[in-house]
Amino acid sequence: MATNKKTELAIAGCMLAVGIGYLLMTTQLPHHSGIDATFVPYLLSALLCMLGALHMLAAVKMPQAVQAASTPDEAAGEPLDAKAVVKTLALIVAYIALLKTVGFPIMTTIYLYLQFIVLTPVNQKVNHLVYVLIALITSAVVYTLFREAFDLMLPSGLFGF
């Protein structure tokens, strides 16, 4: 699937339009002096506008050779892995469905571990121990951070903290 300048310009234009729309909606929010609840929306809208403009600039300067191969996988002649996309979507649906019942710590650990396996290239050996350790540590750090630093409760599920 080769992309051309018109497609890239259309994508960049849409991104820029969404960024400008988001910025205009952000200006309608009530704000106070200093940093308040409008800071992050302003920051995100400005970044989205900037990314849209950079994408547009890159599309305008896109050489003809780059247009022939739109992704590295296609350039190398490797087919896109539709199975990995379907597996990822299934994992996300299962994660959302079981999050409240099973709880954030367990479900996040399981989700990350399985997602690491899905994203491991076929020609590379799956390192189960490393994947489990990364998933456990990440889940514990995020859960503790939300609970202690942000004072936000994530579903504890089976643990019942």
Dist. CA 127–CA 140, nearest whole Å: 20
Considering the entire predicted model, what is its pTM?
A: 0.54
Mean pLDDT of 136-140: 93
Mean pLDDT of 46-65: 84
The string of pLDDT tens digits covering residues 26-35 is: 888 887 777 7
Residue type, 17: A
Residue type, 103: G
Residue 71: what pLDDT? 52
Residue 75: what pLDDT? 46
Provide DSSP, 16-42. Answer: HHHHHHHHHHHHTS---SSS-TTHHHH
Dist. CA 161–CA 157, nearest whole Å: 8
Q: Please count the residues of the chain.
A: 161
Quick check: 154 pLDDT over 70? Answer: yes
The string of pLDDT tens digits covering residues 63-74 is: 754 444 455 544
* N-term to C-term CA, the chain: 50
Residue 160: what pLDDT? 64
* % of the chain exceeding 90 in pLDDT: 28
The token pair at 66 is 């780059």
pLDDT confidence band for 158 (50 / 70 / 90): confident
Q: 136 versus 1: which is more confidently predicted?
A: 136
Quick check: 1 pLDDT over 50? Answer: no
Which residues are within 8 A (CB) of 117 and not within 5 positions of it... i.e. 6 or more apart? 126, 131
Residue 99: what pLDDT? 87
The string of pLDDT tens digits covering residues 72-128 is: 544 444 555 788 889 999 999 999 998 888 888 899 999 999 999 998 888 889 889
Mean pLDDT of 151-161: 72
The token pair at 46 is 């400005």
